[in-house]
Amino acid sequence: MPDLTELLTFIAVGAFAQLIDGALGMAYGVTSAGLLMGLGMPPVAASASVHYAETFTCGASGISHLLAGNVRRPLFLALVIPGVLGALLGVLVAVNVPPQWMRIALTPYLLGMGLFLLFRRSHQPGQRTDVPRGTGLMGLLAAFVDAIGGGGWSALTVTILLARGLPPRVVIGSVHLAKCVVSIAASMSFLLTIGTSHGFAVIGLIIGGVLAAPFGALFIRRIPARAATMLAGFAVLALGINNAVRMFG
């Protein structure tokens, strides 16, 4: 039975990831999954725990965006249908690949995602109204790597869609609602294959996310977006380096 210290550790992971997500609108999954793996949790368990927690956190966020009119239906559908397929394929790979192989595969992913966040460029708000070509394929690939690595959906989809000229409000709203459905699909698949062996971690992530959520708005007002991006990038990059050292050390 995990002790109070372990629960508080999981709460801290959830809170830190939620603050980053509140400031950037992305990077919750890759930050929390990377930290859980840094604590010694197997990659598949870390990804499953994050997706279980995201079913609750993304659900509230996605519904809020829907009620606020931030979701564009064609964009949502273009993301969510291939996204669910990508998530199911990603879970299939994650649960059937030995943990040591997963760590080897995820090390360049964490290093690449850390560098991606560090050197991510800001984009001027666009006014494009159509769904860009290739959006479905992007959703499938983003969900696939998200299910394997525990995060990366928002970092990839939001950045690419903004770069292609869509309005930020529409991008963030549609991506978050689609992420809710994709997380449910991944969670159900993980639940049927590996169960809830790390339920205590899920509880900690949810508590930490809920506690930190009200401070997200304050955090984004106090810290520049670029500084928050750098913070997330350095954290994920450090986790990738730690993984590499543990593999070859």
pLDDT at 132 over 60: yes
Instruction: Calculate mean pLDDT across residues 119-124.
Output: 65
Structural domain contains residue 72 = yes
pLDDT at 35 over 60: yes
The closest alpha carbon to 180, from 60, 15, 34, 16, belongs to 60
pLDDT digits (tens, 9 = 90+) for 205-236: 989 888 887 676 566 556 666 676 676 677 66
Structural domain contains residue 196 = yes
Give the percent of the chain with pLDDT over 90: 23
Structural domain contains residue 178 = yes
Q: Which of 132-146, 154-168, 217-231 has the lowest mean pLDDT?
A: 217-231
| pTM score, whole prediction | 0.79
pLDDT digits (tens, 9 = 90+) for 15-26: 888 777 766 667
Instruction: Calculate mean pLDDT across residues 101-116.
Output: 76
What are the counts of helices (DSSP H) followed by strands (DSSP E) for the chain?
10, 0
Give the percent of the chain with pLDDT over 70: 82
pLDDT at 154 over 70: yes
Structural domain contains residue 3 = no
Determine the structural domain holding residue 195 and report its residue range.
9-248
Structural domain contains residue 43 = yes
Band (pLDDT 50/70/90 cuts) for residue 247 is low
Question: What distance in Å separates the CA atoms of residue 7 and residue 11, rounded to the nearest whole number?
Answer: 6
What pLDDT was estimated at residue 69?
86
pLDDT at 73 over 90: yes
Q: Which residues of 206-229 are buried (b: 16+ CB within 10 A; e: fewer)?
A: bbbbbebbeebeebbeeeeeeebb
Instruction: Calculate mean pLDDT across residues 49-74.
Output: 83
Question: What distance in Å separates the CA atoms of residue 140 and residue 80, rounded to the nearest whole number?
Answer: 8
Tokens at 100, concatenated: 């040591």
Instruction: Calculate mean pLDDT across residues 53-68.
Output: 78
What pLDDT was estimated at residue 49?
92
* DSSP per position, 69-119: T---HHHHHHHHHHHHHHHHHHHHHHHHS-HHHHHHHHHHHHHHHHHHHHT
Tokens at 242, concatenated: 């730690």
Band (pLDDT 50/70/90 cuts) for residue 106 is confident
Structural domain contains residue 4 = no
Structural domain contains residue 218 = yes
Number of independent structural domains in the chain? 1
Question: What distance in Å separates the CA atoms of residue 18 and residue 213, rounded to the nearest whole number?
Answer: 6
Give the chain's mean pLDDT: 81
What pLDDT was estimated at residue 172?
81
In Å, what is the CA distance from 196 to each residue of 62, 94, 97, 120, 224?
24, 15, 19, 35, 37
Structural domain contains residue 239 = yes
What pLDDT was estimated at residue 137?
94
